[in-house]
């Protein structure tokens, strides 16, 4: 086959994959509807793990890498769970249905928080109104004032740990945690024009991204790092300047929104890099019995000898749409 024929076959397979994914999602919603009559938890961690092991073994027989299969099905399963939760919550909270959904997040279009917001709220059949914020405090203010219905906040990363600024602000707000999602994070080196790593002189990034990619950055001793308020700000700057000697660090999907291309992928110190986000709103929501829920506690001790504090991750957030 020549190149055009190969590409035609790939396009045909892509259409088939999309059709199969749509059918799988429809079946997952049928599963949620069946649980209305026979209440059972939405999430079955034991079954998910057994399914993943089986898929990895099947993938190996077909020449597919275990890490590739894991990442692919983590995304599919997470989407299935969130879609089922959204369906049940819509049925339980019909008064919350609105013609549009507004959300506040850190950074500009393409930031990790923006991609998490789009991922989480895509289950709701309503237009999305986005409020980009420069600080976590501004997210809280935007939701508390009613300008946005929801706020998306990162609270934990597998590489850099807890986002302490968010925990500090949670102590002084009346907002309720109404949702949670885990987002895979793949840091890339993004550029606006065709170039080479050896030509780079400056990298724009967010401090959290810098921390999570510190090992890779040590291999670029001659490159200056400039910090930005969010990874999306770094992308926007690089997209505007269009120079061969600068780059940004962020996600490939976010970079695509700004016309950037990944020059190097997989920069994180930990290859399994995940960020946990919470969703906050002014009012709590009714949680369907089929959805496993968590309760958040923020505790502090007196300033005295022997006092200590440790976060309890087993009850860090409530799970609902």
Tell whether 83 and 226 lie within a shared domain: no
**Does residue 167 belong to any structural domain of this protein?**
yes
pLDDT of residue 98: 58
The DSSP bridge partners found for residue 188 are: 250
Tell me the backbone φ, ψ of residue 38, rounded to 5 degrees. Answer: -125, 85
Residues 6+ apart with CB under 8 A from 228: 204, 205, 206, 234, 237
- pLDDT values of the chain reduced to their tens digit, one per residue, 321 residues: 889 999 999 999 999 999 999 999 889 888 888 877 776 777 777 888 888 889 999 999 999 998 888 888 888 887 888 788 777 777 766 655 556 789 999 988 888 899 899 888 877 767 888 998 989 999 999 999 999 999 999 999 887 788 889 988 998 899 999 888 888 888 999 999 999 999 999 999 988 889 889 999 999 988 999 998 888 889 999 999 999 999 999 888 889 989 999 999 988 888 777 889 999 999 887 776 666 677 777 777 777 776 655 444 444 443 333
Place of tokens 């990363």: 157
On whether both 222 and 154 belong to a single domain, the answer is: no
The CB density around residue 264, as the number of other CB atoms within 10 Å, is 14
Q: Are residues 199 and 238 in the same domain?
A: yes
Same domain, 179 and 102: yes
- Spatial contact of 113 and 106, defined as CB atoms under 8 Å apart: yes
Pair (211, 113) in one structural domain = no
**Residues 158 and 280 both lie in one domain:** yes
Q: Running DSSP on this structure, what letter comes out for residue 96?
A: G
CA distance 38 to 158: 36
According to the 3-state scheme, what is the secondary structure of 207-255? HHHHHHCHHHHCCCCCCEEEECCCHHHHHHHHHHHCCCCEEEEECHHHH
Q: How many domains does the chain have?
A: 3
Is residue 315 assigned to a domain? no
pLDDT for 139 equals 96
**What CATH number is associated with residue 70?**
1.20.59.10
Structural domain includes residue 75: yes
Q: Do 259 and 276 belong together in one domain?
A: no
Q: How far apart are CA 35 and CA 39, in angstroms?
A: 5
> What pLDDT, on the 0 to 100 scale, is given for residue 320?
36
**Residue spans of beta strands (DSSP E) within the chain:** 101-106, 128-133, 150-157, 161-162, 176-184, 188-191, 202-205, 224-227, 246-250, 261-264, 274-281
105 and 230 in a single domain? The answer is no
Helix, strand, coil percentages (3-state) for the chain, rounded to 5, are 45, 20, 35
The pLDDT of residue 290 is 63
Are 194 and 163 part of one and the same domain? Answer: no
What domain range includes position 14?
3-34+41-92
The reply to whether 153 and 277 lie within a common domain is: yes
- The CATH number given to whatever domain includes residue 243 is 3.40.190.10
Q: Torsions phi, psi of 276, nearest 5? A: -100, 130
Confirm if 263 and 190 have CB atoms less than 8 A apart: yes
**Within-domain flag for 319:** no
Q: Is residue 204 part of a domain?
A: yes
Domain-embedded: residue 137:
yes
Residue 304: how many other CB atoms lie within 10 Å: 6
Instruction: For residue 301, tell me if it sits in a domain.
Output: no
Residue 161's CB is within 10 A of a number of other CB atoms, namely 10
Q: Whole-model pTM?
A: 0.61
* Whether residue 132 is found in the same domain as residue 250: no
Residue 304 counted as domain residue: no
- Do 128 and 193 reside in the same domain of the chain? no
């Amino acid at each position: 086959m020549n190149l055009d024929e190969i590409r035609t076959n790939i396009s045909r397979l892509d259409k088939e994959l999309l059709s199969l994914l749509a059918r799988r999602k429809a079946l997952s919603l049928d599963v949620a509807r069946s649980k209305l009559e026979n209440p059972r938890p939405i999430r079955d961690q034991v079954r998910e793990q057994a399914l993943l092991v089986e898929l990895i073994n099947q993938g190996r027989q077909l020449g597919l890498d275990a890490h590739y299969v894991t990442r692919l099905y983590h995304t599919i399963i997470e989407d299935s769970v969130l879609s089922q939760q959204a369906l049940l919550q819509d049925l339980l909270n019909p008064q919350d249905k609105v013609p549009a959904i507004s959300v506040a997040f850190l950074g500009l279009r393409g930031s990790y928080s923006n991609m998490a917001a789009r991922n989480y709220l895509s289950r709701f059949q309503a237009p999305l109104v986005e409020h980009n914020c420069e600080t976590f405090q501004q997210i809280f203010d935007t939701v508390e004032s009613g300008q946005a219905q929801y706020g998306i906040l990162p609270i934990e990363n597998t590489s850099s740990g807890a986002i302490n600024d968010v925990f500090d602000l949670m102590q002084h707000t009346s907002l309720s945690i109404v949702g949670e999602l885990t987002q895979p994070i793949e840091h890339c080196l993004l550029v606006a024009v065709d170039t080479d790593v050896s030509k780079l002189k400056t990298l724009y990034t967010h401090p959290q991204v810098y921390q999570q990619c510190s090992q890779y950055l040590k291999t670029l001793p001659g490159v200056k790092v400039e910090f930005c308020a969010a990874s999306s700000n770094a992308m926007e700057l690089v997209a505007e300047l269009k120079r061969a000697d600068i780059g940004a660090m962020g996600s490939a999907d976010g970079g695509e929104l700004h016309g950037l291309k990944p020059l190097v992928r997989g920069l994180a110190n930990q290859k399994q890099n995940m960020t946990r986000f919470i969703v906050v709103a002014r009012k709590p929501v009714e949680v369907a019995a089929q959805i496993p829920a968590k309760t958040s506690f923020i505790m502090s001790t007196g300033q005295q000898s022997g006092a200590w504090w440790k976060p309890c991750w087993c009850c860090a957030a409530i799970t609902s749409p």
